[in-house]
Amino acid sequence: MNAFEVIKTVRLTEKGTRQGEKFNQYTVVADRRANKTEIRKAVQELFKVKVTKVNTLNVAANCAVSAPRRPARLPVGKKPS
C-alpha cells in the first residue's frame, strides 16, 4: 500500500488540536489493514516529519437505528494517534 492508501484523513477535533499544540501529537485515520510500521512510514513520507512513536486504536462497528426496528451497522475503523 502506498502512503495515500494507508492514511485516509487527518482527524481534526478539539482534543486533537490540544494534543498537537501541547504534546506535538497528531491523530490520523488509517486503513484497517495497516500496521504500525506502515503507518509510521506513511506519516513520515506525507508530512516530512520524524515519527518517534505510533499508538493505534481499533474502533468497533456501532449499531444504529436507521428506521424503526431496522438496525444498521456503522463502519469499522482504525485510529492511530
Residue in this structure with the C-alpha cell 481499533, named with its chain if needed: 58
According to the model, what pLDDT value does residue 65 have? Answer: 62
Least confident range of 29-33, 38-42, 43-47, 57-61: 57-61
How far from each other are the two terminal CA atoms of the chain, in whole angstroms? 20
pLDDT digits (tens, 9 = 90+) for 44-66: 999 999 999 999 998 876 666 66
pLDDT at 35 over 70: yes
- DSSP E strand boundaries for 16-73: 28-30, 56-59, 63-67, 70-73
